[in-house]
Amino acid sequence: MNMKKFVLLTAVLAFLVSCGSGDRGELVGVKGKKWHPEKPYGMTLVPGGAFIMGKSDDDLAGVKDAPTRTATVRAFYMDETEITNSEYRQFVNWVRDSILRTKLAILADEIGMTQTDGGIGEFAFKDADTANMSVYEKYMLDNYSGLGPTGYEGRKLNSDIDLILDTNDYPDEYYAEVMDTMYLPIEESYNGQRTWDVKKFKFQYKYMDIQKAAKDRSLSRSDVIITEEVEVYPDTTAWIRDFAYSYNEPMHNDYFWHDAYGDYPVVGISWKQANAFCQWRTLKKNGYQKGKGKQHVNAFRLPSEAEWEYAARGGLQGATFPWGGPYAKNDRGCFMANFKPLRGDYAADQALYTVEADAYEPNDFNLYNMAGNVSEWVQGSYDPGSYEYAASFNPSVNDPDNERKVVRGGSWKDVAYFLQVSSRDYEYADSARSYIGFRTVQDYMGTEVTQNAATN
């Protein structure tokens, strides 16, 4: 091709591209989908803003770990209540059912049964029938099957058919064989009741350690992809272990599973389990978003210590408690939260242990029980001097080598000092207590919303 023809062809192509795009050759940006912020169910929007963080009154305990400073946080969504037993059971059941479906599908694959064969075959992998697969699905099956610990990673489970949990309705002996592996051995049953082996309820997930990647840019992507596997069942023995010489067996037996406590805050959850819950909630929501052709949402996570304190204050500057203060009673003499009042008269606030997650009045951000009921895990690691060196905007100190994780808000067994919005405490990341729960947050995407701007 000579030079004249080449120039002419290039000019024609450029003309066609320009006409086809409709942008008249201007820089108009890539056209994307319209984004409308959607408030997650059960959450409230906490507008960003600045506040005085730390002890505004005398540090009566003399801990000196929360000196006052000005901090600014961005807008975020936060659960209106602590995560309840019912909500956490949804996570536990999802993990259990996913493991069961995987085990059923693997056995069906090994014995060569498909969904048309009935019995355990109904739970076979969806890609067992390659005739109805897309080109991409067939490519992934041909090139990536056999990877991972089980050799079945990436295979599609059949979630269209309900699991059968009643032993009288098991469809065949193969199904019974799989179910048997998820229960404790017969010799460990008592009172005629055989229970799940909850140590097998494990949730595995991956995440990218962005902090590590940012600090060492020589690392490859595989170096900062972290795999975690966490047992998700709450440690119900915490009710016994936390209080020696105290009769709390009913709480151990009933608190997590019984419907009577469905709306009460889940406890016996370690910091690591709380993070696993956040990962699952993100996975669940974005799975729905993908199925509907919608954009993904930001990850659910534990709040930073600064976010938690800002939210607990509810827009009140220098307040002692979420309702203001400085007293734990209102003008009618009623206690404002569930804690340990009057030198140990637990019943004085109308509760011996926990109360429903939406009990008492919410603060001005419509958040319930930011003081009392159960203490709450936050993302930060405990360092007595962290307020001195943390950033002044979106401060967050979470050292992966520091297993002491911050808990805030005080609980049903704590005195009023720990209910103060500025009081700090900690527990070890792998510990589970009968008085520690959590709530989650999600970053806000959209037009910036700030508390300060609203008052100008």
User: 271 to each of 53, 277, 378, 443, how far by Cα in Å?
Assistant: 23, 10, 8, 20
Query: What number of other Cβ atoms are within 10 A of residue 416's Cβ?
Result: 22
**Which amino acid is residue 5, in one-letter code?**
K
Q: Dihedral (C-alpha) 155, 160, 164, 165: value to the nearest 10 degrees?
A: 80
Pairing of strands 76-79, 404-408: unpaired
Residue 128 burial (C-beta neighbours within 10 Å; 0-12, 13-18, 19+):
buried
Q: Are 239 and 434 in contact (CB under 8 A)?
A: yes
Counts for the chain of helices (H) and strands (E), in that order: 11, 12
Peptide bond connecting 326 to the previous residue in cis, omega within 30 degrees of 0: yes
3-class secondary-structure state, position 203: strand
Contacts of 434 by beta carbon, 8 Å cutoff, 6+ apart? 238, 239, 242, 243, 248, 251, 267, 268
pLDDT of residue 455: 43
**What are the DSSP calls for 241-280, one per residue?**
HTSTT---HHHHHHTTTSGGGTTSBP-S--HHHHHHHHHH
Q: Are 152 and 109 in contact (CB under 8 A)?
A: yes
pLDDT of residue 5: 56
The Cα–Cα gap between 187 and 438 comes to 36
- Let me know the angle formed at the C-alpha of 441 by 201 and 300, rounded to the nearest 5 degrees: 45
Q: Are 397 and 417 in contact (CB under 8 A)?
A: no
pTM of the model: 0.90
Starting from the edge strand earliest in sequence, which strands make up the sheet with 76-79, in order? 43-46, 76-79, 441-443, 300-301
User: What b-and-e string marks burial along 187-216, b requiring 16 or more CB atoms within 10 Å of the CB?
Assistant: eeeeeeeeeeebebbebebeeeeeeeeeee
pLDDT of residue 180: 95
pLDDT of residue 211: 87
pLDDT of residue 456: 40
3-class secondary-structure state, position 19: helix
Rg of the chain over Cα atoms, rounded to whole angstroms, equals 27
Handedness of CA 324, 327, 328, 332 (dihedral sign): negative
Q: What is the pLDDT along the chain (456 residues), one digit of tens a residue?
A: 565 555 555 555 455 455 556 788 899 888 877 777 789 999 999 999 999 999 876 666 677 888 999 999 999 999 999 999 999 999 999 999 999 999 999 999 899 998 888 999 999 988 766 666 677 767 766 766 655 555 566 678 888 899 999 999 999 999 999 999 999 998 888 887 889 999 999 999 999 989 889 988 899 998 999 999 999 999 999 999 999 999 999 999 999 999 999 999 999 999 999 999 999 999 999 999 988 888 899 999 999 999 999 999 999 988 999 999 788 888 788 899 999 998 888 888 888 999 999 999 999 999 999 999 999 999 999 999 999 999 999 999 989 889 999 999 999 999 999 999 999 999 999 999 999 999 999 999 876 566 654 444
Tokens of 306: 């600064």
